[in-house]
Amino acid sequence: MNPAGTGPGSLQHPRFARAFARAVGAMDRRGATDHRRRVLAGLQGSVIEIGAGAGSSFPLYPPAVTHVLALEPDDYLRAVAETQAATASVPVTVVAAAAENIPAKTGSADAVVASLVLCSVKDQAAVLAEIRRVLRPGGTVAFYEHVRSVHPFLAAAEDVLTPVWGRFMGGCHLNRDTLAAITAAGFTVRDNQRFGFAVQRLNPPLAHILGTATSPGPPG
Ligand SMILES: C[S@@+](CC[C@H](N)C(=O)[O-])C[C@H]1O[C@@H](n2cnc3c(N)ncnc32)[C@H](O)[C@@H]1O
């Protein structure tokens, strides 16, 4: 059963999805492909990618990954991702699902990939608890996310902009401290790099984090 408002049917953002699918290639050429490659390096076995978008990570999975279950609730982006799956570096299955309700058995995954998606989910804590549920003890959450600025003035601006920004950007929040949320969910951060990255030429750089954390296994 999906928590209220988190079934794939309630997570459609058709205008944002079309704009994102058009823009993601330029973002990847500006540096996101390199970031994606770094976050996927070292993964192996059975992987779940939440909010896979246009499937930009699919060609970049290392050969030690045996299968990727890619979740994408938005119909338009899922269709693009399905096309991309056909040319992926490893077997990829794309499904209509939200990260709040991952269609996988408890403790079954070796790794979960969250790439530019924990900014957009409605309830980060619920999604991180669900990621913990599906990961085996010692499993990896690999994250590449834009996050709240450490500069108080910029963080305050992000707080002010987020309600409007989110309306046009598929529910994205500019102001989330995602690393703190990952730690609060019980994961142990193994490595983390923090850097500024402008996703488009005229955009100001946003703080990003890229790294891995280890799961203690499903809660309770
Ligand atoms: C900015 S895009 C990033 C897409 C892709 N991960 C990437 O790195 O290019 C955000 C993605 O999160 C997805 N999304 C939003 N809410 C979600 C949720 N609750 N569960 C899973 N995916 C979600 C959107 O449909 C969209 O594909």
Domain CATH code at residue 157: 3.40.50.150
**pLDDT value at 10 more than 80:** no
Split at pLDDT 50, 70, 90, the class of 9 is low
Does the CB atom of residue 139 touch ligand 1 within 6 A? Answer: no
DSSP string, 30-99: IIIHHHHHHHHTT--EEEEEES-TTTTTGGG--TTEEEEEEE---HHHHHHHHHHHTT-SS-EEEE---T
Tell me what pLDDT residue 220 has: 75
Report d(CA 179, CA 117) in Å as an integer: 13
CB 185 within 8 A of CB 172: no
Tell me what pLDDT residue 11 has: 86
Read off the pLDDT of residues 97-131 as tens digits, 9 standing for 90 and up: 999 999 999 999 999 999 999 999 999 999 999 99
Residue 168 domain-assigned? Answer: yes
Does the CB atom of residue 120 touch ligand 1 within 6 A? Answer: yes
Residue 3 domain-assigned? Answer: no
Between 204 and 54, the more confident residue is 54
Does the CB atom of residue 11 touch ligand 1 within 6 A? Answer: yes
Pairing of strands 45-50, 65-71: parallel
Residue 2 domain-assigned? Answer: no
How many A from CA of 194 to the centre of ligand 1? 21
Q: Ligand 1 atom 16: the closest Cα is on which residue?
A: 121
Q: Rounded to two decimals, what is the model's pTM?
A: 0.95
How many A from CA of 169 to the centre of ligand 1? 11
Rounded to an integer, the average pLDDT of 152-170 is: 95
How many A from CA of 38 to the centre of ligand 1? 19
Tell me what pLDDT residue 8 has: 61
What is the domain extent for residue 96? 8-214
Does the CB atom of residue 170 touch ligand 1 within 6 A? Answer: yes
Does the CB atom of residue 116 touch ligand 1 within 6 A? Answer: yes
Which residues are within 8 A (CB) of 7 and not within 5 positions of it... i.e. 6 or more apart?
Answer: 73, 98, 101
